[in-house]
């Protein structure tokens, strides 16, 4: 599985959920942030997971999760830190508006399918248990909280 395939699935999921969450209650943002963090630390690329863990360790969770705007800005900065590291173009904030138009159910289902696909790389297979656990916990969260999102 290429980084482009799972990377796009992950970023679409993160950005879409932040744009589509209905509530302005920061407890919902904290819960979503927890899933973003867990998924980011269990990517199908150990180096990518390490970069994510380092980036996330420097984040003030209370500030980030205090509003939708802060969550959008956090993901914008997180995504651009990855793009800079891999030599991809830097997003402008207005480029992220496309995620507000995405079909939430399709984005979630695509993410789950991509993350549950098997890898032939033995090092990645060793990490797959934690990734599958993170995806399973996320799926449980979504099944119990889908009503909190615009579809």
Instruction: Measure the CA–CA gap between 18 and 70, rounded to whole angstroms.
Output: 10
Instruction: Provide the number of structural domains found in the chain.
Output: 1
Dump pLDDT digits (tens) for 4-41.
999 999 999 999 999 999 977 678 999 999 999 999 99
Dump pLDDT digits (tens) for 114-133.
998 865 555 555 568 889 99
Host domain of residue 41? 3-148
CATH code for position 30: 1.20.120.310
- The predicted model gives 51-60 an average pLDDT of 98
Instruction: Measure the CA–CA gap between 73 and 88, rounded to whole angstroms.
Output: 19
Instruction: Measure the CA–CA gap between 97 and 84, rounded to whole angstroms.
Output: 20
Dump pLDDT digits (tens) for 129-148.
889 999 999 999 999 999 99
Dump pLDDT digits (tens) for 65-100.
999 999 999 999 999 999 999 999 999 999 998 999
Q: Quote the percentage of the chain above a pLDDT of 90.
A: 82
**DSSP at 102:** S
């Amino acid at each position: 599985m290429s980084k482009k395939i799972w990377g796009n699935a992950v970023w679409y999921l993160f950005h879409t959920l932040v744009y589509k969450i209905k509530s302005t209650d920061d407890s919902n943002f904290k819960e979503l942030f927890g899933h973003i963090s867990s998924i980011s630390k269990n990517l199908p690329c150990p180096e990518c997971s390490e970069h994510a863990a380092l980036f996330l360790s420097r984040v003030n969770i209370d500030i980030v999760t205090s509003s939708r705007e802060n969550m959008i800005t956090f993901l914008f900065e997180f995504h651009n830190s990855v793009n800079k590291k891999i030599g991809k173009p830097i997003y402008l904030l207005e480029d992220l508006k496309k995620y507000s138009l995405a079909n939430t159910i399709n984005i979630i289902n695509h993410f789950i399918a991509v993350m549950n696909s098997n890898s032939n790389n033995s090092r990645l297979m060793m990490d797959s248990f934690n990734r599958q656990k993170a995806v399973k916990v996320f799926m449980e969260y979504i099944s119990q909280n889908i009503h909190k999102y615009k579809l």
